[in-house]
Structure 1
Amino acid sequence: MIIVLLGPPGAGKGTQGERLAARLDVPKIATGDVLRAAVRDGTPLGLEAKAAMDRGDLVPDAVIMGIMKDALASPSAAKGAILDGVVRTTPQADGLSQTLASLGKTLDAVLLFEIDEDELVRRLSGRTTCDVCQRPFFGRQPGEACEEGGQTGTLVRRKDDEPEAIRKRMQVYRDQTAPVIDWYAHHGANMVRVDALGSLEEVEARMQSALGL
């Protein structure tokens, strides 16, 4: 099963994506993770991505989709994958569609996490992030230690988690994602909407119910 995750920053799609991946026994593939791995491993596409980043340019969609194709073609993704952050614009939606077709795979669902903007601002403005493992925490203060993954880091509050920055990110998300939703609707995708307000367990239950799991 191949599922694309959509939703505003802080809606919890990454965490729920991990739970869904575990439930389905498939990998969760995030654009940032596979991009960093390709750069680290020095693959041809990774070198192209690094060259773009070194110039201060955005990594071209064609390079990102090439890296995603390699990830989706790997044995670990034989039964499917949960795709997080792969589709943010309509060209990326179209690129992913072509990539899946070239691999003989199909998109089973687009999982859209929905949440009120005021709740999102409240949630994200209380978030801290480990400066080493990048794991987000809620209800913990900047300066506290993080020892996840066997490394010691320090919790920090990112500038883009300030309320005004969050609202700007939400506007960018709306501008980019509304056309993506329309694109998938036009192409007959199975769009599954999930209310992302509530505890992790409550949202997970809604997500699984919506997907018929």
Structure 2
Amino acid sequence: MDIVLFGKPGAGKGTQAPRLAEALGAQILATGDVLRAAVKEGTTRGLQAKSYMDRGALVPDDVILGIVKEALATPKYAGGAVLDGVVRTVPQAEGLERVLCELGRRLDAVLVFDIEDDEIVRRIGGRVVCDVCQTPFMGREPGEPCPKPERDGGHLVRRKDDEPEAVRNRLSVYRDQTLPVLAWYEQHGAKVCEIDAVGAVDDVTRRALGCLS
């Protein structure tokens, strides 16, 4: 099963992705992860991406989608993919549709984790990340040592883009870019499911799986 995850920043996609992947027998495919892996491995597409990244330019959609296609063609994703962050614009949605078609696959569902803006601001405002491994944590204060068991030596910091004004700007960008994508999917007959993302993590997971059943 191949599904795409959508949701505002802080809606819980990163929390739900591994849970859904495990329940579905699939693997997570996140743009950043496959992009970094391709660059590290020195693949043709990875070297193309690196040439843009080295000069501070955005990596074009066709290069990213080429890397995504290469990843989906590997045995790792034979059981399905939970696509997180792969689709943010209509051209990317169109490109992913072509990629899946070329691989003889299809998109089974688009899951949209829905939550009010004020709750997002509250959530993200309480988030800190490790300055080494970038793992996010809630309910902790900046300056604390990273609590991960491996003790990577990092300390917790609050990112500037997690401040309330920055979060509201990110939400505005999300609406401008993402709502047209969801409309495109609906117009093209995709199964688009809105998930109430407020509540216990287990409850949100059950709602998501219920939409897929």
Query: Does the TM-score normalized on the shorter chain lie above 0.5?
Result: yes
Which residue matches 2:207? 206
Q: Which residue of 1 aligns with 2:195?
A: 194
Give the aligned partner of residue 167 of structure 2.
Answer: 166
Distance in 2 of aligned mates of 1:147 and 1:51 = 36
State the shift of 1:149 in Å: 6.7
Partner of 1:153: helix, strand, or coil?
Answer: coil
Give the 4+ runs in structure 1 shifted more than 6 A.
Answer: none
Alpha-carbon distance, 1:61 to partner? 0.2
Once the two structures are TM-superposed, the CA of residue 73 in structure 1 deviates from its matched residue by 0.6
Shift of 1:42: 1.3
The CA deviation at 1:148 is 2.9
What are the residue-to-residue correspondences of 1:69-88 with 2, within 5 Å? 69-88=69-88
Corresponding position of 1:26: 26
- The answer for the alignment partner of 1:65 in structure 2 is 65
When residues 128 and 193 of structure 1 are mapped into structure 2, their CA distance, relative to the original with a 3 A threshold, is same
Report Cα offsets for 1:76-103 as digits up to 9, x if no partner.
Answer: 1111110000000000000000000000
Instruction: State how many pairs are aligned.
Output: 212
Q: Which amino acid aligns with 2:21?
A: A
Q: CA deviation at 1:147?
A: 4.6
* Bigger shift: residues 40-49 or 104-113: 40-49
Task: Tell me if the contact between 2:27 and 2:79 (Cα under 8 Å) persists in the aligned partners.
Answer: no
- Residues in 1 aligned to 2:42 and 2:143: alpha-carbon distance in whole angstroms: 34
User: Unmatched 5+ residue regions in structure 1?
Assistant: none
- Output the CA distance in 1 between the equivalents of 2:154 and 2:67: 29
CA shift digits 1:129-186 (9 cap, x unpaired):
1122211111011111125373332111010000000000000000000100110011
Identical positions, percent: 60
Could you tell me whether the CA contact under 8 Å between 1:133 and 1:148 is conserved in 2? Answer: no
Q: Tell me whether 1:35 sits opposite 2:35 in the alignment.
A: yes
